Amino acid sequence: RGARTDKGVSAMGLVVGVRVRSKVRDGKGVVSVGSGVGENDEEINFPQVLNRVLPPEIRCVGWAPVEPSFNARFDAAHRTYKYFFCRGNLNLERMREAGAQLVGSHDFRNFCKMDVVNVSNFTRTILAFELNVIGHVRMNGVDVEICEVQLQGHAFLWHQVRCIMAILFMVGECAEEPDVVSYLLDLSRCPSKPSYALASELPLLLYDCAYDTKHVSEWICDQVE
């Protein structure tokens, strides 16, 4: 898998590497040719085949041929997460000021659930942070703004996005100052993670897993039923 998500988190652009039977004789990823493969056979419609057996809430929307050494997790160039929420009384400018401090390479041990058994390096790189109002809905006769935080990074720690959102919500509620992010990233001033509740997993979406063209040169998406 291109990324591992918590229970309850949705995924829109998850990439999964699988070995499958093919009906072509050569090309990227073809390691052997079956005896029944003809010279001009068309490739199997993989999304159609998979979607027949997958539950309706899980859909395959495209595929790409890759080399046998391809690893969906470790070959990913970057991943994009989105987190949706109602604005309410949140101060978005304060949240943007705080979020901007996340960009770059930092030790995020104060922004994750510690997994010392499997992880020894807590440095991760955030490539971009955005917070935007994306729409309005009418709820109980009141016009409510829907907001979206988008985080793009090479890789993420366990619960990292939910921890980030928890801090941003406190900043937006004026319970913390925007520079609390810099404080938590500075291990000389904050050597251990403070106690705070995680943001909910339900509004979190794994939006995209991106790959360099040397790994994935073409996505075939026009065969979906």
What tens digit of pLDDT does each residue of 20-39 get?
A: 888 776 677 666 665 665 56
Percentage of the chain lying above the pLDDT 90 cut: 58
Taken in order 214, 25, 13, 202, the sign of the CA dihedral is: negative
Q: How far is CA 124 from CA 14, 28, 80, 157, in A?
A: 20, 32, 14, 8
The mean predicted confidence, pLDDT, of the chain is 89
Q: Which two tokens stand for residue 190?
A: 């904050």
Q: Compare 143 and 152 and report the one with higher pLDDT.
A: 152
Residues contacting 127, CB < 8 A, separation 6+: 78, 103, 152, 153, 154
Minimum mean pLDDT among 45-59, 78-92, 166-180: which range?
45-59
| Confidence grade of residue 130 (pLDDT, cut at 50, 70, 90) | very high
Q: Are 63 and 46 in contact (CB under 8 A)?
A: yes
Q: Which alpha helices (DSSP H) does 17-124 contain, by range?
A: 46-53, 92-100
Separation CA 13–CA 10 (nearest Å): 10
For residue 6, indicate whether it is catalytic. yes
Residue with tokens 């807590």: 122
pTM: 0.87
Separation between Cα atoms, residue 221 and residue 6, nearest integer Å: 27
Per-residue model confidence (pLDDT) at position 39? 61
